[in-house]
Amino acid sequence: MMPADCPPAEESAMPDPNQPTPPAGWYPDGRGGQRWWDGTQWTEHTQPPAPPGPSGPSGPSGPSDATVMAPQQPAQPRQPAQPRPPAHPPAQQYGQQPPFPQPPFPQQYGQQQYGQPAYGQPSWTPPSGGKGGRRLPMIIGGAVVALLAAVLLVVVLVKALGGGSPEDVAKEYLTASFESDYGTVCELTAEDQRESLIEDADDCGDYAEEQAKEEDEESEQYEDDYDLSIDDIRGNFDFEVEIEDVDEKGDDEAVVEVRQTTEYTEDDDFLDEELDGDRSSSSTFRMRLVKEDGDWRVAEPYVLD
């Protein structure tokens, strides 16, 4: 016989409204087993008759074969793809801070190969390839390049400079850069850029002396590698500067288009290892000059459109 607080028998069509509704739980099904009552109606969940033997009372529990479904989480939105960096940096625009043309020799040992150089360091365009790929960044087809510090002995000539035409000053500046004449390069640099150049020096002469000391410390490596002094290597280069065009913009600014050509004239290890056998190199670029106190000075030695 079922207790008074049990749910109605399965055969009953509906519960007696005068009786309280039993709570959810397992209840006898009249066949020796049990069936789950969910509080309002019988479910399909059943349990077979329990084996004989004592068993302690236990509270009602959920159906053993019921599966609890977690609510489905909304799909996480995909993160937008990050933009890929361009394969090559954009060309230098006129009026921006330019890199310098390059020196005739590989950069000083132990220095960083690429990066924006300071004003007043030597200028030259080396050929491509070989170890030059590691120590000789190149100016090819007007590409933006970094100036490398040349490993040269410096003869400082402090004199009055810049009183000629824009093309004369441009050629003088590039020749001094090729020869690592830091004092002349400093004197031919426009005032604002010169202040940055000699930030850690008293004047152009002091700056040139400091550069000479640094180069002298580095130059022994070339003699060890190639049995050539810096003067020997520099003497093996033919260097030429041609003025292609001069565009004077008013009375105090000019843009000079320059073609710079170099050729290594010897057959030696320096040619094979540092220049990868490429003797000649040339580039065309523009220089911006400004007039200060009646003299032309180089404000931007390498300008690309």
- Residue 212 pLDDT > 70: yes
Domain ranges in the chain are 132-303
When mean pLDDT is compared over 74-88, 127-141, 147-161, 282-296, the highest value belongs to 282-296
Overall residue count recorded for the chain in this entry: 305
Q: Under DSSP, is residue 193 helix (H, G, I), strand (E, B) or coil?
A: helix
For 68, the token pair is 């609890």
Between 69 and 9, name the one with better pLDDT: 9
Q: How far apart are CA 126 and CA 278, in angstroms?
A: 9
pTM: 0.52
When mean pLDDT is compared over 85-89, 160-164, 269-273, the highest value belongs to 269-273
What does the H/E/C string look like for 232-294?
Answer: HHHHCEEEEEEEEEEEECCCCEEEEEEEEEEEECCCCHHHHHHCCCCCEEEEEEEEEEEEECC
- Residue 169 pLDDT > 90: yes
Q: Regarding the domain delimited by 132-303, which CATH topology (the fold level of the hierarchy) does it fall under?
A: Nuclear Transport Factor 2; Chain: A, (3.10.450)
Which tens digits make up the pLDDT trace of 221-274? Answer: 888 999 988 888 989 999 999 999 999 999 999 999 999 999 999 999 999 999
pLDDT at 279: 93
Mean pLDDT computed over 7-28? 64
pLDDT at 137: 36
Q: Under DSSP, is residue 209 helix (H, G, I), strand (E, B) or coil?
A: helix
Alpha helices, DSSP H only, in 160-203? 166-178, 182-187, 191-197
pLDDT at 20: 63
- Residue 56 pLDDT > 60: no
What are residue 181's phi and psi, to 5 degrees? -85, 80
Between 252 and 164, name the one with better pLDDT: 252
Q: Which range, of 75-84, 205-214, 225-234, 289-298, averages the lowest pLDDT? A: 75-84
Q: Which range, of 74-88, 138-152, 213-227, averages the lowest pLDDT? A: 138-152
pLDDT at 27: 82
The answer to whether 52 touches 45, Cβ cutoff 8 Å, is no
